[in-house]
Structure 1
C-alpha cells in the first residue's frame, strides 16, 4: 500500500445507486455515481467453495482456474492450523472485459504493458473469521500460457497487486491540537502491479500456467512484461464530444469519463487515466504514461462517458501513427455517442476478441 502525505483535507462524495434484476443502473446523484454503479453491477464476482481444511482438496472456478490446497495449510489469526469446514473465495480475471469491469488493467508501476496470463485473489474464512495460509503451499493452475518452440515451457513473472493508496492530511482537533487523519482510497488506474521476483511456469503446449500461492487476500498476476520495439511516444485521447469535465486525477478508481486500450491479439488492457489539463474545447480528455506506446502498435481504444444520466461510448481500432515533426506525442480523437447500458456492455465484451 502506497502512502502519500497531503497538507490538505480530502473530501469524498459518494452517490447512491439502485440495481434492478436486469442490472439496469440508475443514479440521480451524479455521473460518477452512475459510472461507479454500472461497474459495480457488472464487475466479476468471487466464487465461493466449501473445503475441509484438515483434508484439503482442489477447487475449479467457472473460468477454469484450478487451485489445489494440501491438508492442514490454513491458519487462523494466531497462526494455528485450522480444521473443519471453511469457505474459500476466488475471483479470477482472465480476459479484457473483466479487466475493464473489475478495474484491473495490466500495467506496471511505470505504465509498461503487461501481457496477462491470469489475475486472481483468494480469500478464506471460518465462521466469518479471516484465515491465512502457509506460504507457497497451494498450487494455482490458470488456463492461459505461452507456447515455447522447444517444448521446455516458459517462465512468467508473478506480480503483486496494490489497489489502494493511503493519504495523511493534517489539521486541528477539538482542543486545537495538531493531528493527522489517514484515509485510504482506490488507486486511479485500478491496481499497481509490482514484480515479486517469483515466476509461474507455462506448459509446453501453452495452454496453462502454474504457480504457488504465497498468501491470501492479495491480488496476484501472472504477467509477462511486453517490450515492443519502435519509437516511444505518448498518446493523448481527445474527446471531441461528451467529455465529462468532472473527470479528475483523484483516487476514486472510477471516473465519469474513462479510456481503455487493448493491444491487438494480446491479452493486455491499458487504462489511460491522466487528465489533460488546461485543455481547449475538443482537446479535453485523457493521456497515457509518458512514452509508453510505440509507433506502429496496433490495438483498440474504448472511450466511455457518463453524462447527464446517459452513457456514451466510442470504440476505435487504430495503428499508432508517427508524431508530427518533433512532437513526442500523437493525438487520437474520440466522439462518444449515446449507448444503452446493454450496448455499453456489448462494446466492453467486444474487447475480448480484439
Structure 2
C-alpha cells in the first residue's frame, strides 16, 4: 500500500515492537482469487508496544499517532491496577486506502458522510490476559486536524464504531409452527458510527487533534459530519460486466463485488453496501443509502470484483448528475476490467489523492 516505515518516537520507559509491514505485492493469489483473501492480506495491521504500566509513557505509531499513558492506569479483569511490563496494540486508520482495506468507511448510521480525522482501536494485555484502562486517562493525539476559521471552532465529534444491531430469524419450532427469534449481534466494522457526545480539539494550525481515550478494545473515530447541501439523491452503481452474483448486502465484511466512493478533496470513504435486487443483466450492482448523495457532488468511485479467480476494477471520477424527470435516483455505469493484484493495490492507493 502507500505506507512507509517511519521511525517511532518513545520516551524512556517505552520499548516497542511492530507487527505491521509495508503492503508490498508479494502474495500469490492465483489459487485463492478471492476478495476475502486479498483484503485479509493487505488490511492495516496493529502495531505492538512494550510499556511499563507502573511508569507509563508515550507511544508513537508509524503513522504519527501519539498516545500518552500516565502511570498506573491499566486495570485487570477485577479492576485492580496493573504493574510491570504490558503489551499495547494500536491500529490507526488515517487515509482512504486504509479505510478500504481495513473495512472502515466513514459514514454515520443514516448514511451521512463523515470527514475523518483518524480512526483507531487500542488494546492491551499482560501475559495474554486482556486489560482495561481508567476512563479518559490516556491522551490521544492524531496527526490530522482542522483550522479554526469563520467561527466554526475546532471541535471534532468522537464516534463509537462498535455497534450492536438486532437481527430476526424465522422458521418453525418444535411443533412445526411458524416462529421467529430476535437476537443481538455486534457490528465491529465501523459501518454504523454513532456520535458519542464527546469531542476532540484541533490545534490552531489544524495539524493535529487531541482527545481522551475512554476505553480499550473499542473503535473510536474522530470525524466531522460533512454538510453537503443541495438536492438529495440515491446513487445506483450498475456493474455492466463482471458482477459477482454471490454478492450480498453485507454490513460486516467483504463481498466479491464492492463499490466505494471518495468525495473530492475530503478525507472520507463511503461504501455502497446494498445490493440492487431483481436486476436485469447490465443493471446488477450496489446502491447507496437512500437520498445520501447530493447533486453536483464531485468524487471518485472505485468498483471492484473477484470472479473465477481473477480481479476486476474500474475507477471513475464523477460529478453526481441530476435525476431524470421525476426519478429520485441516478444510475452510474461501471465496466470493471481484469487487473492484476499489483494494479488493484495501485488503484486503492490512488484514492488517497482524489
Above 0.5 in TM-score? yes
Structure 2: how far apart are the matches of 1:281 and 1:73? 58
Give 1:248 shift: 1.0
Structure 1: how far apart are the matches of 2:152 and 2:171? 59
Q: Kindly indicate whether the alpha-carbon contact (under 8 Å) linking 1:74 and 1:81 is maintained by their aligned counterparts in 2.
A: yes
Structure 2: how far apart are the matches of 1:319 and 1:212? 38
- Which has the larger displacement, 88-97 or 273-282? 273-282
SS of structure 2 residue aligned to 1:192: coil
TM-score by length of 2: 0.87
SS of structure 1 residue aligned to 2:122: strand
Q: Kindly indicate whether the alpha-carbon contact (under 8 Å) linking 2:162 and 2:187 is maintained by their aligned counterparts in 1.
A: no
Q: Kindly indicate whether the alpha-carbon contact (under 8 Å) linking 2:145 and 2:203 is maintained by their aligned counterparts in 1.
A: yes
Give 1:199 shift: 0.1
Give 1:255 shift: 0.6
Structure 2: how far apart are the matches of 1:265 and 1:157? 20
1:141 pairs with 2:141: yes
Q: Over residues 33-76 of structure 1, what are the superposed CA-to-partner deviations in whole Å (9 max), with x where a residue is unaligned?
A: x1111000000000000000010000000000000000000000
1:23 pairs with 2:1: no
Q: Specify the alignment match of 1:267 in structure 2.
A: 267
Q: Over residues 112-139 of structure 1, what are the superposed CA-to-partner deviations in whole Å (9 max), with x where a residue is unaligned?
A: 0000000000000000000000000000
Give 1:181 shift: 9.6
SS of structure 1 residue aligned to 2:348: helix
Q: Specify the alignment match of 2:117 in structure 1.
A: 117
Give 1:23 shift: 2.1
Give the 5 Å matches for 1:331-350.
331-350=331-350
Q: Over residues 51-110 of structure 1, what are the superposed CA-to-partner deviations in whole Å (9 max), with x where a residue is unaligned?
A: 000100000000000000000000000000000000000000000000000000001000
Structure 2: how far apart are the matches of 1:324 and 1:260? 23
Structure 2: how far apart are the matches of 1:171 and 1:147? 55
- Which has the larger displacement, 152-161 or 233-242? 152-161
Q: Over residues 141-189 of structure 1, what are the superposed CA-to-partner deviations in whole Å (9 max), with x where a residue is unaligned?
A: 000000123799600000000266564647789999x9979685757x7
Q: Kindly indicate whether the alpha-carbon contact (under 8 Å) linking 1:27 and 1:37 is maintained by their aligned counterparts in 2.
A: no
Structure 2: how far apart are the matches of 1:24 and 1:103? 22
> What RMSD over aligned residues (CA atoms) do the two structures have, in Å?
2.6
Give 1:192 shift: 1.4
Give 1:218 shift: 0.2
Give 1:24 shift: 2.4
Residues 314 and 199 of structure 1: is their aligned pair in 2 closer, same or farther, counting only changes over 3 Å?
A: same
Listed as ranges, the gaps of 5+ residues in structure 2 are 1-23
Residues 21 and 126 of structure 1: is their aligned pair in 2 closer, same or farther, counting only changes over 3 Å?
A: farther
Q: Specify the alignment match of 2:216 in structure 1.
A: 216
Q: Specify the alignment match of 2:198 in structure 1.
A: 198
Structure 2: how far apart are the matches of 1:179 and 1:139? 46
Listed as ranges, the gaps of 5+ residues in structure 1 are 1-19
Q: Over residues 301-341 of structure 1, what are the superposed CA-to-partner deviations in whole Å (9 max), with x where a residue is unaligned?
A: 00000001100000000010111111111100000000001
SS of structure 1 residue aligned to 2:161: strand
Q: How many residues align?
A: 330
Q: Kindly indicate whether the alpha-carbon contact (under 8 Å) linking 1:56 and 1:71 is maintained by their aligned counterparts in 2.
A: yes
Structure 1: how far apart are the matches of 2:229 and 2:77? 48
Structure 1: how far apart are the matches of 2:27 and 2:191? 25
Q: Kindly indicate whether the alpha-carbon contact (under 8 Å) linking 2:190 and 2:219 is maintained by their aligned counterparts in 1.
A: no
